[in-house]
Structures are given as structure tokens and as C-alpha cells.
Amino acid sequence: MRKVISTLSEKLQSGEITSVQLTEKYISAIEAQNPRLNAYVHLTFDEARANAQAADKMIKEGKATALTGVPFTLKDNIATDGLFTTCCSKILQGFKPYYDATVWAKLKAQGAVLLGKTNMDEFAMGSTGETSVYGAPLNPVDNTRVTGGSSGGGAAAVCANLAAYALGSDTGGSIRQPASFCGVVGFKPTYGAVSRYGLLAYGSSLDQIGPMTQSVTDAAIVYDAIRGEDKADGTSVPTSAQKTVLKGDIKGLKIGISEEYFDGVPTEIKGAIDNMISAYEKGGAQVVRVSIPALKLALSVYYIIACAEASSNLGRYDGIRYGYRASNYTSVDDMITKTRTEGFGKEVKKRIMLGTYVLSSGYFDAYYKKACLLRKTVESQMAEAFEKCDVLFAPTAPNTAFKQGYSGGNAVETYLSDVCTVPVNIAGLPAISIPCGKDKNGLPIGMQIIGKKFSDALVLDTAYFAELNGLSKTAEVEGGVKL
Ligand code: GLN
């Protein structure tokens, strides 16, 4: 794993390179690589150059933090004042918010440099990147494969060294699964640890912003920089005043293994995780078997709740307030219908309809209410498991990166592939995906480390043991910015 942020930060603070120079390097690399990779959908180079100048001033004045002057990227569903924020949807074509998301405001105040907005599945609905109106990003490890999704552009940008780090969002795995497909680190914090203000909502009770990086060290730095209570997000909560300390201390750590997480997972992926578990045991951790039968319910619960919340959240896109408006209409109703018909893609429409259906009278009790009750069961069984162990180890996905186009003909299989990531969102837990070997095609495998609520620091420190001992290797891809 590469400590990209601290390496760059040292160079910046020692004066070996200025942020303006470093930013130009990233800009040249993006110009050279992005037409092929399609990781970025909106380039914000003017903003980046202005940010870099401000960062160099901060460094000179001795006001720098670890992220000052370091170039990064935001997923296209994170609001940036005056800069395109389109959720990779036609319905938000040309939309520029009038305010910054809290995460961006926090990073900007620390002198971060915004290179652009990265590609994603439309409104974060997907597991491949392919529902983006701009076309899918390519997996830098193997261009015939998808990046995963929905934060696929961020994973590709980090993997190909076109950004030092990326912020993504994770509603049902959208940070962790693309991180696993592209061989990088993806961290989904506890629900509420990072403000969602300015994150264009998909499933508000599930959505969480988090970092995608080339190391656990970098993930912890970014997490510390963006977390904390925010008055603008009523679901945000105070987090520890201490910085996250990484020691890789796993002596006596109880690693829970729940067989339910491994159901139907190919032996290749299981084997890679078994190897990792053995290495942790050698390091002094202890394996505990736990059972979480409700994990089997998680996928159905997720798709009902996520679609229900999406159908409500996406009601605001009416052609009046944001982005795209159909041009030929006879009345306001006709304008709204045409705008939504033309503006939303197929997957988004499918989910709005599913969500509207499960919320409609007559079906509410049978679907939505039941899903909410079962959500509690998943949550409480996971909490019970954490009475017996400190962390859970599980696959990030039951598969490695799909071939391009796979999801088109395999919609249900694609939904099913979210089986390992969604439980964490349902229960609001923190989880990290770290690279854990490769499959027979040389594609990265990902492993999740899951913790109980607000044990984000423990999750990061457990993952750091793998970084410290060379057990986890991020993908090495030619091109991009060399450190
Ligand atoms: N693949 C999942 C979905 O399509 C998760 C997406 C996400 O986390 N945004 O809903």
C-alpha cells in the first residue's frame, strides 16, 4: 500500500514541490488518461489551480494540515458551489448548486485541491458504473472490466493515480465494492459520523460519505478531516476529539466469522480471506464463530428501503428547480411528466416505480413496514454478534469485477452481488474494504472489516495491521502521477 497523502504532504511542506506544480502534474495525467478511463465527468481545473495557490500560501504561513495542497476528487453527487453536480443523470444536466457540501467545505478550509467530479452510476443506483449518463468508467486494472459502482470513477481515479484520494458515497456498498474491484481501499464510516449535508440523497437512512485511497493510513487521514457533528445534518453525531491512531495492534483482537457471509462465495475469494485470517491469527488475533441468520434478509430489506427512500428523494426533480427541463409541453403537469420521462435513466425509473409501489397504500404493510421491522432484526443480530467479537471479516463482494456489459443482461444477479455490502448500511455500521489477493484472472479481491457503531478507529486500526505487515497490496497501474 502507498501512503500517497503523507508522501505528497511531506514534499509540499519541505518545499520540494509546490501545490501549484503538483496540481499541474495531476492535470496533465488526467488530460492524458481520462479520455480513455472516463473516471472524471467534470473537470474543475480552474478551481484546482485557485485551490493550489491558496494551499501554497497556507504552507508558507505555516498553517498547513496533512491535506493542504493535495489534489483529490469528489463523486458527482456531492454539492460544489458553482461547479457541476449532476449525479451523472440527464435530469441534472447543467446543474450547479449554490452551496458546498459540508465535506467539501471542510476540505477546502484545509487547503485541499479539487481536480474534478468523478463518474458514478446515475443517482448512485448500480454496482458497475454503467448506469451513468456519461458512460461507464473503465477499470484501470483491466479495461475490459467495470470499476464497480456506484463510486466507480473515484475508485478508477485513485487506482490510476489521477487523484491522491477520492470521496465517494456508500448506500449499499458503493465505496467498498468499487474499491475492491479496482484494488484500492474504501472506507464507509458509521452512519452519522460524516455529515451528509450536500450529498444528493439516494436512500437517506443508508447514505454515508467516505474516502477511497491507496492505503489505510490515507483513509484515516481523510476520515479525520471530514468527520464530526454538523448542525446542517440532523443525523450527524459528534465523533471523538482524538485523531485516529494507527498502530496495527491486534493482539487479543476477536475476529468474528459468520458463515452466512460466505454463502455462495467462490472458493477463490473464500481462500484469499482465509489466508488473511490466518495471518491475523499469527499476529495474535483470535477467531470466533458467530451466527447472523438475518444476513439472508439483508438484500431484500435493502432493495425495499433504498427504493422507497429514493422514490421520495427523487420527487424533487420536476424540471422547475434543478437541471434539465423538457422543451415541448402543454401544461405544468405535462412538463413535469416529460422532464422526468426524458431526464431519468431506465434503472432510476425502475427504482422510483418499485419504491412508489412498496410505499403505496395496500402494499405499505406488506413491503415497506415489513422491511423496516426486518431491518431491526438485522441490526440487533449484528449487535449481538459484536458482543462476542470486536470485528467481523467478510468478503466485500461474492465476485471480482464484472465484464463490461454484464449487468445489462443480468440485472438480478447484479443486485444479488450486493449481498455482502448491504448489511452494514442497514445496521449503520463502519466497514472498510482492503485488497486481499487476486483471482485467477489477476483481478483484485476485496475483504471487509466491519465494526460495531462508532468503532471506526478500531476498524481502521485492524485494517492497518494488513498494511503494516504487507498483507494487503493495492493495484499497481502504469501511468498517472508518480510519487
Ligand atoms: N449497488 C447498490 C445499489 O445499486 C449500492 C449503491 C450505493 O451504495 N450507492 O443500490
SS3 percent helix, strand, coil of the chain, rounded to 5, is 45, 15, 40
Say how many residues make up the chain.
Answer: 483
Closest CA to 242 of 466, 454, 469, 8: 454
How far is ligand 1, taken at its centre, from the CA of residue 174, in Å? Answer: 5
Q: 164 near 5, Cβ under 8 Å?
A: yes
Of 9, 132, 150, 215, which residue is the catalytic one? 150
Closest CA to 83 of 67, 71, 107, 99: 99
428 Cα–ligand 1 center, Å: 15
Q: Which residues contact 92 (CB under 8 A, 6 or more apart)?
A: 85, 86, 200, 317, 322, 323, 324
Q: Is 125 in the pocket of ligand 1 (CB under 6 A)?
A: yes
Nearest by Cα to 184 from 171, 169, 165: 165
Instruction: Let me know if 132 is a catalytic residue.
Output: no
Give the number of C-alpha atoms closer than 13 A to the C-alpha of residue 276, restricted to the C-beta side.
33
Q: What are phi and psi of 467, to 5 degrees?
A: -65, -50
Q: In what order do the strands lie in the sheet with 113-118?
A: 40-43, 113-118, 71-75, 165-169, 209-213, 185-188, 431-438, 444-451, 391-395, 254-258, 286-290
**Among residues 75, 106, 188, 453, which one is catalytic?**
75
Q: Is the distance from the beta carbon of residue 304 to the nearest atom of ligand 1 less than 6 Å? A: no
* Ligand 1 atom closest to Cα of residue 302: 10
- Between the CA of 177 and the centroid of ligand 1 the distance, in Å, is 9
Nearest CA to ligand 1 atom 10: 125
- Please indicate whether residue 75 is annotated as part of the active site: yes
Per-residue pLDDT in tens (0 to 9) along the chain, 483 residues: 999 999 999 999 999 999 999 999 999 999 999 999 999 999 999 999 999 999 999 999 999 999 999 999 999 999 999 999 999 999 999 999 999 999 999 999 999 999 999 999 999 999 999 999 999 999 999 999 999 999 999 999 999 999 999 999 999 999 999 999 999 999 999 999 999 999 999 999 999 999 999 999 999 999 999 999 999 999 999 999 999 999 999 999 999 999 999 999 999 999 999 999 999 999 999 999 999 999 999 999 999 999 999 999 999 999 999 999 999 999 999 999 999 999 999 999 999 999 999 999 999 999 999 999 999 999 999 999 999 999 999 999 999 999 999 988 899 999 999 999 999 999 999 999 999 999 999 999 999 999 999 999 999 999 999 999 999 999 999 889 988
218 lines ligand 1 (CB under 6 A): no
Q: What is the pLDDT of residue 6?
A: 94
The CATH homologous superfamily for domain 1-483 is: Amidase signature (AS) domain (3.90.1300.10)
DSSP classification of residue 88: T
Report how far ligand 1's centroid is from the alpha carbon of 217 (Å): 26
Q: How are beta strands 391-395 and 286-290 bridged, if at all?
A: unpaired
In this prediction, residue 483 carries a pLDDT of 83
For residue 122 and ligand 1, the question of a CB distance below 6 A is answered with no
Going by C-alpha positions, the residue among 428, 411, 359 that lies closest to residue 127 is: 411
Ligand 1 centre and the CA of 325: distance in Å?
A: 26
Prior bond of 150 cis (ω within 30°): yes
- Please give the Cα distance from 335 to 338 (Å, whole number): 5
* 418 Cβ below 6 A of ligand 1: yes
Q: Which atom of ligand 1 approaches the CA of 151 most closely?
A: 9
Ligand 1 pocket, residue 310 CB under 6 Å: no
Q: CB-side exposure of 400: number of CA atoms within 13 Å?
A: 25
Grid cell for residue 154: 473515484
Catalytic residue (one of 174, 180, 433, 455):
174
395 Cβ closer than 6 Å to some ligand 1 atom: no
Distance 263 CA to ligand 1 centre (A): 20
Amino acid at 169: S
What is the rounded CA–CA span in Å between residue 434 and residue 391?
14
Residue 306: CB within 6 Å of ligand 1?
A: yes
126 close to ligand 1 (CB < 6 Angstrom) = yes
Task: Give the distance (Å) from ligand 1 centre to CA of residue 449.
Answer: 19
Q: Whose CA is nearest to atom 5 of ligand 1?
A: 172
Beta strands, E only, 226-356: 254-258, 286-290
> From the CB of 119, is ligand 1 less than 6 Å away?
no
Between CA 65 and CA 109 the distance in angstroms is 10
Per the annotation, the verdict on 440 as an active-site residue is no
Ligand 1 centre distance from Cα of residue 295 (Å): 17
pTM tops 0.75, yes or no: yes
What ranges do the domains of the chain cover? 1-483
For residues 121 and 129, what is the distance between their CA atoms, to the nearest angstrom?
A: 5
**Dihedral angle computed from the Cα positions of residues 217, 20, 16 and 164, in that order, rounded to the nearest 10 degrees:** 20
Q: Is 173 in the pocket of ligand 1 (CB under 6 A)?
A: yes
